[in-house]
Amino acid sequence: MAEPIHPQVRIGHVHLKVADIDRSLEFYCGVLGFELVQRLGNSAAFVSAGGYHHHIGLNTWHSKGGTPPPEHSTGLYHVAILYPTRAALADALRRLIRANVRLDGASDHGVSEALYLHDPDGNGLELYRDLPEEDWPRNAAGELKMVTDPLDLQALLNEE
């Protein structure tokens, strides 16, 4: 068996193929609240949270005016965006509601709480927050036992 990857490796930024930069910026900046870091005309834009060089690259290099891939095809299932607190995830939910963005689902996984949706180009998104590791559900052998239970959206909205 191969040696495991270094435990501090993290997944960094993601680049998404989109059909229209302006429409994507309206969603990622206008709805979700990311900040525009750089724009390259109508071909690419880079957005981030907290001043990072970019968390999400949006580009039309091979997709300008394109359509989402068919439902039963290979490709990226979703991008997961980690929120630091339950209150920050609640803010994300409020933003989605104000913008009339439809959720595809909302789950309590025992290890995290997650909102599922699609961006205007059909790219899947998971907006989530992790629960403290000491609260993660485990079986008698100590192995992780994730679940998919409904997330109480009203309780999340009540979060300050």
pLDDT digits (tens, 9 = 90+) for 83-107: 999 999 999 999 999 999 999 999 9
Mean pLDDT of the residues in the chain: 96
Write down the CATH number for the domain with range 12-65.
3.10.180.10
- 12-65 shares its CATH topology with 77-160: yes
What does the pLDDT read at residue 115?
A: 98
Architecture of domain 77-160: Roll (3.10)
User: From CA 16, how far away is CA 121, in angstroms rounded?
Assistant: 9
**Which residue ranges make up each domain of the chain?**
12-65, 77-160
The pTM of this model reads 0.94
Q: Please give the C-alpha separations between residue 57 and each of 4, 13, 98, in angstroms, as whole numbers.
A: 29, 7, 24
pLDDT digits (tens, 9 = 90+) for 16-67: 999 999 999 999 999 999 999 999 999 999 999 999 999 999 999 999 999 9
* Residue 26 and residue 101 in contact, taking contact as beta carbons nearer than 8 Å: no
pLDDT digits (tens, 9 = 90+) for 68-83: 999 899 999 999 999 9
What does the pLDDT read at residue 71?
A: 87
| pLDDT at residue 139 is higher than 90 | yes
Q: Mean pLDDT across the stretch 116-133?
A: 97
What does the pLDDT read at residue 140?
A: 95
What does the pLDDT read at residue 133?
A: 96
What does the pLDDT read at residue 85?
A: 97
| pLDDT at residue 132 is higher than 90 | yes
Across 4-160, where does the E strand assignment appear?
14-17, 35-40, 44-48, 56-59, 79-82, 105-108, 112-118, 124-130, 149-150
Q: How confident is the model at residue 126 (pLDDT cuts 50, 70, 90)?
A: very high
